[in-house]
Structure 1
Amino acid sequence: MIDLQTIGLERFQASAGEAAALLRALSNEKRLMILCQLGEGEMSVGQLLPQVGLSQSALSQHLAKLRDEALVSTRRDGTTIFYRIADPAVLKVIAVLAEIYCPPVSSEKA
C-alpha cells in the first residue's frame, strides 16, 4: 500500500496532471502496445507496423500523439524516422502493468 503521508500529498498533487496525462496516453490499447514494442528499443514505422497490427496512417497518428505527450522522441536517418521511449516513467508503468496483468507462467505441471 502506498503511504501518501511519506510521499507528501502536496507533492503528489503537484505531479497529478503529468501522471494523468501519462495514464491517458496509456489508456489506448494500441498506444500501450506501441510503447511496449518501443520498450525493446528504437524502431521505425516500418518495423512497428507488423508488430502492432495497424495501418500506416493509424500508427502515424498514434505516434504523433505519443510524441505530442513527450513520451516518445525521434531520430532521422535519411528518410527513415526512428522512434524511442523518451520518458523513463513509461517503462516503469509498463513494468508494473506487466507484473499485474502478465504474471509468470508456472513451470509446474499439475
Structure 2
Amino acid sequence: MSAQGPKKSEKVETCDVRVIHLERVAQARDEAISDREAERLSLTYKALGDPTRLKMVMALAGGEMCVCDLAAFLGLTESAISHHLRRLKDLALVKSRRDGQILYYSLDDQHVSRILKIGLEHIRE
C-alpha cells in the first residue's frame, strides 16, 4: 500500500483446482486467536482507524499532553478530545496521570508505539 491509498488489483487470483491442505488448516486452527481476542483486536484497530484518534495517539507518541494541549493541536473542543480519550483509555491505548489540577495523557505502553511505527513503515514502503 502506498501513501496515496490502497493498490487496486485488476483481478482476484484463485486456484485453478480446489484442494484443501489439511495439515495447514489444522495448524491454522491450532494457532487461531480466540473470539474474544479477535473482538478486542478489532476494536483496537477500529479506534485507531479514526483519523482524529490516530492523530491524537501519534501526538502522544512524542510525549504526554493534557486535554487542552490536544484540543489546541487538533483544533477541536476539549469535550471532543475527552470523548476520544475515553475510548482510547478503555482499550488500554492511552493512560493518564494527574499533576495537581492537570490531567496528562500518554501512550499506555511500548506496544502502542510499536503498532504505530510498524503501520507507518508499512504505508511508507
TM-score with structure 2 setting the length: 0.67
SS at the partner of 1:75? strand
Distance 2:72 2:29 in 1: 43
Distance 2:32 2:107 in 1: 23
* Higher helix proportion: 1
Q: 2:40 matched to 1:18? A: yes
Q: 1:59 to 1:92 in 2, by over 3 A?
A: same
TM-align CA RMSD: 2.3
Structure showing greater Rg? 2
- For 1:26, the aligned partner's letter is L
Output aligned runs, 1:1-110, within 5 Å.
10-14=30-34, 15-102=37-124
Long gaps (5+) in structure 2? 1-23
Long gaps (5+) in structure 1? 104-110
Distance 1:10 1:84 in 2: 36
Question: Shift of residue 46 of structure 1?
Answer: 1.7
Distance 2:62 2:87 in 1: 20
SS at the partner of 2:33? helix
Do 1:22 and 1:90's aligned partners in 2 also have CA atoms closer than 8 Å? no
Q: Looking at both structures, which has the greater relative contact order when contacts are Cα pairs under 8 Å and sequence separation is at least 6?
A: 2
Q: 1:88 to 1:12 in 2, by over 3 A?
A: farther
* Count of aligned pairs between the two proteins: 99
Instruction: Point out 4+ residue stretches in structure 1 off by more than 6 angstroms.
Output: none
Distance 1:16 1:88 in 2: 21
Question: Shift of residue 53 of structure 1?
Answer: 2.2
Question: Shift of residue 24 of structure 1?
Answer: 1.3
Structure 2 counterpart of 1:107: none
- For 1:96, the aligned partner's letter is I
Q: 1:78 to 1:24 in 2, by over 3 A?
A: same
Distance 1:58 1:74 in 2: 17
